[in-house]
Structures are given as structure tokens and as C-alpha cells.
A and B are shown apart, each in its own frame.
Chain A
Amino acid sequence: EIVLTQSPGTLSLSPGERATLSCRASQSVRDHLGWYQQKPGQAPRLVIYDASNRANGIPARFSGSGSGTDFTLTITSLEPEDFAIYYCQQRSTWPVTFGQGTRLDI
């Protein structure tokens, strides 16, 4: 099973700042990595798929990069609605696995 390790655990920033979230895989997942946003009491929402592709309706301030074992989710100029927990997920190998999450706090 591929283990995904996210860092930092919590990131405290202010609206307008830039957020950089990391996800490291225990073995290569090629570009088969995605990111989800989850707000309190809500279901996760797909943000990025296959490392760098924005999902439907996701603003351009969200971008993803990386391949192999190291991936980054970048949010330029944070909006108040961006503060949430972000999870990475790999689809390279059975079983699908998720990272433990990064909480993005104001």
C-alpha cells in the first residue's frame, strides 16, 4: 500500500497570501495524484486530478505540480473560502490511498 505523507499538518495564513501544501508518496505514483478540499460538515471536493489538472469549477488560483513521489498544491492569493482541510490521493496502485490532510487555517 502506498503511503502519502502531507506537510505541514497545519498551515496558518491570511487572505491574500500564497499557500504551498506538500504531499510525498512512499513510492512513485507517476502523475496519478489528486487533491481534495473539505470544509467542516461537508463532503470532500475534487480540486486537482492527475497532478496538475483543475477539476470542473475550480478557480485558476489553484494549481498542482509534481510527479513521481513529490507533489505540491499551490493556492495563490488565498480567499476566505479556501480555508479548509486538503487531502491528497493516489490512483496509481491498489488500494486507493489518501494522505492524512493539511489544515489550512486563517
Chain B
Amino acid sequence: EVQLVESGGGLVQPGGSLRLTCVVSGFTFSDHAMNWVRQAPGKGLEWVSSISSSSNYIYYAASVKGRFTISRDNAKNSLYLQMSGLRVEDTAVYYCARYGSSWADPNFFDYWGQGTLVTVSS
């Protein structure tokens, strides 16, 4: 069974930092590109970042570029999102989501984690 489990969310002050982790199981992690997608409370979905299977290709949404860093450790079946310079508007549930292929080019998200809530507030 494919599973993606996020952790690391919480309350942080504006300007602060947070690191999210997604641990996966049930599939060969190193064969798939991975993503972070977020959803502000009561709002729609927003793609945040993508990383190819071997970390060769990385992409960010304009809203987070320069502040967030995506990375992965294929030996640990883990995906990360290092967030810094956090803003109130970054408040959202952050989902880890899998692409069906190894490429980080735009694709569909075929499996999702349950999400972790990040709240940016003073």
C-alpha cells in the first residue's frame, strides 16, 4: 500500500523557519518525482515545488522561490521542505504528493499524504 506521511508542521512567527518531512512507503521512492502542494484554510490547492527522482531538476512556485528549499533522501525514502522567511500568507496545510513519473515536468499527482498544518502568526 502506498503511504505518504508528512510531519513537521506547527505554529511559527512571521520571518521564522520550519522544516517539513514526508516519509513514504509502498513504492520505489527513487523512481518518482515528488512535490509539495499547499491549501490555505478554506481555500483551493496551490502547487509549491517539485523535485525529480534524482534531484537533478527542481522547480518552485513564484510565491515561494528564494524562501523555500525542496530536497530528498532516496536512501531514507524521505522528502523535505525547508521553509524560511515565513509569511502569514504561507499558512496552509502542506501536502506531499507523488508524480507518476521520475520527471519533475508538470504532471498529475497520483498519491497524496494526509497533510501537515503550518500556521504563521505572531
Q: Which residues of A contact B (CB under 8 A)?
A: 32, 34, 36, 42-46, 49-50, 55-56, 87, 89-101
Q: How far does the alpha carbon of A100 sit from the alpha carbon of B61 in the complex, in Å?
A: 17
Total A-B contacts with CB atoms under 8 angstroms apart: 52
Find out whether the CB atom of A55 lies under 8 angstroms from the CB atom of B110. yes
Find out whether the CB atom of B44 lies under 8 angstroms from the CB atom of A101. yes
Q: How far apart are B115's CB and chain A's nearest CB, in angstroms?
A: 6
Q: How far apart are A21's CB and chain B's nearest CB, in angstroms?
A: 14
With an 8 Å Cβ cutoff, the count of chain B residues facing the other chain is 17
Most buried by A among B59, B107, B113: B107
Query: What are 18 pairs between A and B in contact, CB < 8 Å?
Result: A36-B109, A43-B114, A44-B45, A44-B95, A44-B112, A87-B44, A89-B108, A89-B109, A90-B106, A91-B106, A91-B108, A95-B62, A96-B47, A96-B106, A97-B47, A98-B46, A100-B44, A101-B44
Find out whether the CB atom of A45 lies under 8 angstroms from the CB atom of B44. no
A91's partner among B107, B114, B115 (CB-CB below 8 A) is B107
**Nearest CB in chain A to that of B99: its residue:** A91
**Nearest CB in chain B to that of A89: its residue:** B108
Q: What is the interface of chain A mostly: helix, strand, loop, or mixed?
A: loop
Mask: chain B, 20-54; 1 = CB below 8 Å from A; 0 = not = 00000000000000000000000011110000000
Find out whether the CB atom of B44 lies under 8 angstroms from the CB atom of A95. no
Q: Which residues of B contact A (CB under 8 A)?
A: 44-47, 59, 61-62, 95, 106-110, 112-115
Find out whether the CB atom of A43 lies under 8 angstroms from the CB atom of B108. no
Find out whether the CB atom of A93 lies under 8 angstroms from the CB atom of B106. yes
Find out whether the CB atom of A46 lies under 8 angstroms from the CB atom of B44. no
Find out whether the CB atom of A44 lies under 8 angstroms from the CB atom of B106. no
Q: How far apart are B1's CB and chain A's nearest CB, in angstroms?
A: 12
Q: Which residues of A contact B45 (CB under 8 A)?
A: 36, 44, 87, 89, 98
